[in-house]
Amino acid sequence: MELYITSLNSGSNGNCYYVGNKQEAVLVDVGLSCRETEKRMGRLGLTMEKVKAIFVSHEHSDHISGIPVLAKKYNLPVYITPDTRHNIRLTWEGISIFPFQAYEPVKIGELSINGFPKFHDAADPHSFVISYEGINVGVFTDIGSSCKHLIRHFSQCHAAFLETNYDDDLLEQGYYPLHLKRRIRGNKGHLSNKQALDLFLTYKPDFMSHLLLAHLSKENNCPKLVKELFTLHAANTEVVVASRYAETPVYTITTSGYAVTRPIVEPVIVKASKKPKRPKVDPMQYSLF
């Protein structure tokens, strides 16, 4: 038995994570346009016909902007908590909306999706564990700090998308205003490289085969730096940095443990454009960095 996982994009410019077996799959968040989501899945040899549902972690635009068009085009049900839905200003006409509750698993075919609360500056934010035949894959991003819920689920995962949003020194030396730095570092902000590494070192199960480092800040982190940091302590776990510019390969997850699998399809690498001028920070978008 196997699960297949990929990050279609990960960062404040859009988040979308695919987890599925050979028959069905789910997307956790859709912060890409419908066209871009289709394009990236197509490059990986994945089809939207296998996607049976979308699960929403919280209401920030980099996690939901592509949902209305994609869900309507493919007639996909959207699972979302009532408080999160109440705080989203999107048109849901023609879309099937289903509420979910923490620790009440939702069955999508043979997949079981279990949501649980997390610390973040949103109305009712949740992380997810997708399970199939004893295989557990966690989607743990946009988290201000580790909590008992995160620790318990992380320690049961064969693979995980784990937030490593910022490097402490890069954030401290960066141009963000002090109040934004405090918000990012706060209990409802984002996980730093150090916080995520502490979780990994303390609670990583021996059978975790893949760790995808997710939601890296463009300004306050460095993919090479964080990959080297985690690889140094990874042992038999394959460490992958989820890009903010392209999809990752598709990885095969099993219950056997210690299985560093080759990607099914290599992604098309999209080069980043030249470094833009420093953006003006809109106070309403602080939670997205």
Q: Write the pLDDT tens digit of every residue in 144-164.
A: 999 999 999 999 999 999 999
Domain boundaries, the chain: 3-272
Percent of the chain topping pLDDT 70: 89
Give the mean pLDDT of the chain. Answer: 90
* Separation CA 51–CA 127 (nearest Å): 19
Interval 241-266: pLDDT, tens: 999 999 999 999 999 754 444 444 44
Could you tell me if 21 and 76 are in contact, meaning their C-beta atoms sit under 8 angstroms apart? Answer: no
pLDDT of residue 133: 97
In 103-158, which ranges are E strands? Answer: 106-108, 111-117, 126-132, 135-140
* Separation CA 48–CA 152 (nearest Å): 32
pLDDT of residue 257: 54
Nearest alpha-carbon partner for 143 in 37, 15, 38: 15
Architecture of domain 3-272: 4-Layer Sandwich (3.60)
Region 41-51: mean pLDDT is: 98
* Separation CA 161–CA 165 (nearest Å): 12
When pLDDT is cut at 50, 70 and 90, the band that residue 57 belongs to is: very high
Which residue's entry shows tokens 């997810």?
128
* Separation in Å, CA 267 to CA 164, 188, 224: 22, 33, 18
Q: What are phi and psi of 162, to 5 degrees?
A: -125, 130
